[in-house]
Structure 1
C-alpha cells in the first residue's frame, strides 16, 4: 500500500514529461524552434545590447534545453552513424584543451562554453531538420532580421534623424548608408544580406515559398546589401556569382566529364585567389574599401607580433576579444579603442589557437567545402547548392572578418559541415554496430 501510494504521485509528472518530449519532437515545434535558433544566433549582438549578457545567456541556455528535448524526442528518427565530422570535433576539442595553457583561464572557459553552445545549436539544425527545412528556417529568420533592420534604419535615418546608439545604428539611411541594422556593423549586415540572397534564391528554385514572397524577399536583401555599402560583402557577392555559375555548369555537364571540370574549377579558384590577394588593395579600393585595408593591415601587423610569442598553440581561445585582458587590451582599432576581433578569421585563430588552430580550421573548412561542393555538383535536388554557396560566402568573408569563430556564423558552419558529412563522410562506410 505504501509503495503504491508513493509511486502514484509521480505518474502525472511522468506523463507530463513524456507528452512534452513528444510535442517538442513534432514538426511544427521543431521548425519554429529552428527559426528561433537562427534568429537568435544572427541577432545576438542586438539581444545583448537590449538584455545584457545575462539575458543573452539565458536565451541561449533555454534554446539549448529545448533543442536537446527536441532531439531526444526524435532520437529514433536521427541517423547518427558517422555523421559528426572528425575535423570539427578536433577543432572544438582543441578550443577546449587550450584552457590548459591559457593565461586567462576563466575567460577561456567562458569563450569555449559560449562557442560550444552555438556549435550545439548548429548540430541541432543538422540532426533535427532536413536540408530543405534548414533552408526554410534560415530564410524565415533572415526575413525577420532584414525587415526589422530596415524598419529601424527608416525610423532612425528618415523619421527622427537620430542614431540609435545602443544598437549601433547611426541613422545614415538618408545619405545612402552605410546602415547597420540589427547586425551592429555594416559588414555583418552585408554578410547577412548576402546569405539571405543565397537562401531566398534556393527557396525560389525549390518552390519552398510562394514566388511573390521569394521575389519580394530577394528585393529586400538586395536593397539591404546596397545600403550596407560593405566592401567585404560586395566582393563576397562577386565570389557567390562565380561559384553559382560554376555549379550550374557542373550540374548540367555529363557525369563522365565532371571530374575534369572539377579540376578546371579548382585550378581557376587557386589562380583567382592568388591574383585576388595580390591586388586586394585595388579590389577593395574599387568598392570604397581602401580605408578598411589600411586599418586591417595595421591590425594584422600587431597580431603577427603577439601571435609569434605563442605561435604553435596560441594564447587560449576566447572567441570575441575581451577588451580588459592582455594581449587583447593592447590591440587597438583606428579610433583608439581595443578591437573586438582580428578582422580576419585566420589571423584571429592564429592569435588564439596558434598554427595548430589555423590548420584545424582550414582542414575543417576545406573538407566541408569539398564535400558540399561535390554533392551540389551532382545531386538532383537543387537545395544541395545552398551549403556549398554558404561555405563560399563564409570562406571569402573570413579573409576580412572573424565571423566564423563565434555566434551565428559558427553555428551555420557547424551545421553545414555536419550536413556535408552526412553525404560524404568516410565513416558512413564503416560497419554498423547494433546496440
Structure 2
C-alpha cells in the first residue's frame, strides 16, 4: 500500500508540473474532471488517516499566510469586475494548495523532494519522446490532437515539431517557458539530492545533461538568469554558514551587498548588450507593453484590486481581446507583482510579500544550517527560481508555482508515512 501511496503522490506532482499537458490532452472538461477526481481521492485518504497522526503533523499556524491570501482572493468576489472568473480561479488555486498540504502531510521533506525529482524527470522524458514523434511525423500538433492543416500560427501549436530544425521546443507542457522551469527544477534536485551512490550519481548526471539541453532548446532567458542567480545565492549561503563571529558576518554582509550592487548596476548599464546576448528586445518580447496596460487597469482600484483572476479567463469579456499577442488573448501579466496588484491591489501585494518573505526566511535558515548535507539548499534554490520567474511570468501565482510558494512559506515538514484504515501504507 505504501508503494501505491507513493505512486499517487507522484501522479499529483506530475499533474501539477504538467497541468497544461492534461488540458491539451483531455480538453478543458477532461482536465477539470481529473482535478475533481484527484481532489476527491486526496480528501478520502486524508479523512481515513488516524486522528492522532493528523493532529501531530498538521499545524494550522504554518499555513496561516497562504490561508489569508486565499481567503482574500475569495472575498474579492464581492467587488470583482469579473466575479465568475474570480470564483472559478480561486477554487482551482485553492485546490492546488490543498493538494500541496496533503503531500506535505503524508511525506517527509526528503521523500517529497525525491518524488518531485522523479515526476519532473518524467515530464522531460515524455517531452523528448513527444518532440521526436511530432518532428518525425513532419507536422505540428494542435491541442486535443486537432488537425493543423489550416493553422499556420505556431503560437497555437501544442508541439511545433521543430526538434531537428532548430527553434524553441515546448515539450508536453506546450510552453517553452514552463518546460524550462521544469528543467531547472530537475537540475536543482539532481545536483543537491542527498543520495551519493555511484548509480544514482551517473543517472543524475545524465538527467542534468538532458535538462540543460532542453533548457537551451526551450530558449528561456529568465531561466538561464535563474541558474546564475541560484549559483550566486548558493555561494553566498555556503560562505555565510562558515562565518562564526559578528565581525566576520558584518564584513560578509558589507562585501556581498557591494558585490551584488555592482553586478546589478553593471547589468542595468549594459542591458542592451545583455538583451542582445539573450536574444531579447528592450521590450522584453512585448512584456513592457503588457505591463503598461495592466498597470492602467490596476490603478483604477489600487487598494483592494479589481478581483482575483489567476489565470485570466480568456472567455470572460473583461479579458477577451483585452491584451493579445499574435492574435491570442494573454492569460496573465507576465509579472507576478504587477498581476497581483491588478487583481488584489496593494493589500494583495502585501500578502504576497509576506508569503515570499516567510519563504525566504525559512529557506535561508535551513540553507545556512551547519552539519547538514547540500540538500539543505533545495528550498532556497526554489525560492530563487520563483522570484526570478516572477519577474517575467505570473506562474508563481498559480498551479504548481503557488503550491510551491505555500509549502516554502510554511516551512513545512511531514511524517514519512500515512496511516489509512489503521494500517501503514
- TM-score > 0.5, shorter chain as reference: yes
Given candidates 409, 413, 423, the residue that maps to 2:401 is: 409
Given candidates 384, 394, 404, the residue that maps to 1:392 is: 384
Q: What residue in structure 2 maps to residue 309 of structure 1?
A: 300
**1:186-224 deviations in whole A, cap 9, x for unaligned?**
111111111111011122666697222211111111111
Q: What residue in structure 1 maps to residue 213 of structure 2?
A: 223
Given candidates 54, 58, 72, the residue that maps to 1:80 is: 58
How far apart are 1:122 and its partner, in Å?
A: 1.3
- Structure 1 stretch displaced more, 356-365 or 317-326: 317-326
Given candidates 143, 156, 159, the residue that maps to 2:121 is: 143
1:349 aligns with 2:325: no
Q: What residue in structure 2 maps to residue 113 of structure 1?
A: 91
Given candidates 57, 81, 91, the residue that maps to 1:103 is: 81
Q: What residue in structure 2 maps to residue 182 of structure 1?
A: 172
Distance 1:75 1:146, change over 3 A: farther
The answer for unaligned runs of 5 or more in structure 2 is 144-156, 415-425
1:378 aligns with 2:369: yes
After TM superposition, list the pairs within 5 Å mapping 1:20-59 onto structure 2. Answer: 23=1, 27-59=2-34
In the alignment, the residues of structure 2 paired with residue 102 and residue 208 of structure 1 have an alpha-carbon distance, to the nearest angstrom, of 56
In the alignment, the residues of structure 1 paired with residue 5 and residue 253 of structure 2 have an alpha-carbon distance, to the nearest angstrom, of 37
1:198 aligns with 2:173: no
**1:43-74 deviations in whole A, cap 9, x for unaligned?**
11110111122221222222222323333415
In the alignment, the residues of structure 1 paired with residue 51 and residue 265 of structure 2 have an alpha-carbon distance, to the nearest angstrom, of 45
How far apart are 1:281 and its partner, in Å?
A: 5.3
Q: Secondary structure at the match of 2:324?
A: coil
Q: What residue in structure 2 maps to residue 211 of structure 1?
A: 201
Q: State the Cα RMSD in Å.
A: 2.6
In the alignment, the residues of structure 2 paired with residue 258 and residue 378 of structure 1 have an alpha-carbon distance, to the nearest angstrom, of 17
Return the structure number with greater relative CO, CA threshold 8 A, min gap 6: 2
In the alignment, the residues of structure 1 paired with residue 289 and residue 401 of structure 2 have an alpha-carbon distance, to the nearest angstrom, of 25
In the alignment, the residues of structure 1 paired with residue 332 and residue 268 of structure 2 have an alpha-carbon distance, to the nearest angstrom, of 21
- Structure 1 stretch displaced more, 324-333 or 43-52: 324-333
Given candidates 68, 71, 89, the residue that maps to 2:67 is: 89
Q: What residue in structure 2 maps to residue 359 of structure 1?
A: 350
Larger relative helix fraction: 1
1:154 aligns with 2:132: yes
Distance 1:199 1:105, change over 3 A: same
Distance 1:74 1:176, change over 3 A: farther
In the alignment, the residues of structure 1 paired with residue 369 and residue 253 of structure 2 have an alpha-carbon distance, to the nearest angstrom, of 11
Instruction: Normalising by structure 1, report the TM-score.
Output: 0.83
How far apart are 1:239 and its partner, in Å?
A: 0.9
Q: Secondary structure at the match of 2:300?
A: helix
Q: What residue in structure 1 maps to residue 276 of structure 2?
A: 285
How far apart are 1:332 and its partner, in Å?
A: 2.1
In the alignment, the residues of structure 2 paired with residue 271 and residue 95 of structure 1 have an alpha-carbon distance, to the nearest angstrom, of 39
How far apart are 1:417 and its partner, in Å?
A: 2.0
The answer for unaligned runs of 5 or more in structure 1 is 1-22, 424-435
* 8 A contact 2:323–2:330 mirrored in 1: yes
* 8 A contact 1:126–1:416 mirrored in 2: no
How far apart are 1:269 and its partner, in Å?
A: 5.0
Instruction: Normalising by structure 2, report the TM-score.
Output: 0.85
